[in-house]
Amino acid sequence: MVVIVTWLFAKSFRGLAIYPFIFLRTKDLKENLKIINHERIHLRQQIEMLWVFFFLWYGIEFLIRWIQFKNPLTAYFNISFEKEAYANEIYPEYLKTRNFWSFTKYL
């Protein structure tokens, strides 16, 4: 389910997945298949990790990467969940062939 919420996002972010929803900053992004696929990859990651563990791992990995790179944006792009989603967002069939816990390849 896709929900449009303009006030939720910082300027540089366009989407957010919190199972079972995909939140987007603007209505036109519903047509952007790359963003939708990116967020669907996150939904799958959340299901695999029983939701709560996804967010715990995400937060801990973000803090580790922030310490490592000393920059929050660089930290964000180096989170394993984000690396998997960005690497595969252009492949519409990715989720059909994706292996369980594939994000671990990006650690």
- Whether 13 is covered by a domain: the verdict is no
Tally of domains within the chain: 1
Structure tokens given for 81: 């969940």
- Whether 101 is covered by a domain: the verdict is yes
- Whether 7 is covered by a domain: the verdict is no
What does pTM read for this prediction?
Answer: 0.95
Name the pairing type of β-strands 2-4 and 15-18: unpaired
Q: How far is CA 80 from the centre of its chain?
A: 10
Unique residue bearing structure tokens 């990790």: 49
- Whether 22 is covered by a domain: the verdict is no
- Whether 25 is covered by a domain: the verdict is no
- Whether 10 is covered by a domain: the verdict is no
- Whether 94 is covered by a domain: the verdict is yes
Structural domain including 38 reads: 33-106
DSSP one-letter string for 40-90: HHHHHHHHHTTTHHHHHHHHHHHHHHHHHHS-HHHHHHTSHHHHHHHHHTT
Mean pLDDT by 10 residues, the chain (107 residues): 90 92 96 98 98 98 98 97 98 98 97
- Whether 18 is covered by a domain: the verdict is no
